Amino acid sequence: MSMSSTNIGHHHAATSHHRKEGGPVWLSAAAGLCASLVGLGLARFAYTPLIPALIAAKWFSPADAVYLGAANLAGYLAGALIARELGARLGSVHALRGMMVLASLCCFTCSVPVSFIWFFGWRFLAGVTGGVIMVLAASTILPHIAPGKRGLVGGDDRLLGEPGRDRGSLGDP
């Protein structure tokens, strides 16, 4: 059995179970919002605005601060690459919960200037958590939503009612 068929089978069972519960759409939308805030806000982009303050406080030299940003980006790419396998092994929901907790831990561990290596490892790990969260969140949440409501939860701009927005992506401005 291939990895994709295993993941689909596991995913289908979880989807069927949740649909029987019939949870409100706003809960799924809130889960997606929280995943975006943690995955992009905390894990990926929270460090960047702090770079000038870290340099001014003399925690790191300008070159070291930029390397830490690069470590975070490399971690994000690594997390995106391992997300599917991690979701298949742990289950998407457990992987997402674990990554959200780990992303929060990464923020706390970077609140004191220990060393460059310390920050490098934690910023890389923060990036990994953000990459995993962003890859798994939509594919975990959207199957629990009725097909007619997925655009509302997933952020489909065609719901705004703008004329002409339902053209193909090649025609969009």
Please tell me the predicted confidence (pLDDT) of residue 45.
81
Please tell me the predicted confidence (pLDDT) of residue 101.
93
Question: pLDDT tens digits, residue range 59-115?
Answer: 999 999 999 999 999 999 999 999 999 999 999 999 999 999 999 999 898 888 889
Window from 34-48, 68-82, 110-124 with minimum mean pLDDT: 34-48
- Higher pLDDT: 23 or 158? It is 23
Q: Is 132 helix (H, G, I), strand (E, B) or coil?
A: helix
- Higher pLDDT: 17 or 133? It is 133
Report percent pLDDT > 70 for the chain: 73
Q: What ranges do the domains of the chain cover?
A: 38-155
Please tell me the predicted confidence (pLDDT) of residue 153.
65
Single pTM value for the model? 0.72
Q: What share of the chain is helix, strand, coil (3-state, %, to 5)?
A: 80, 0, 20
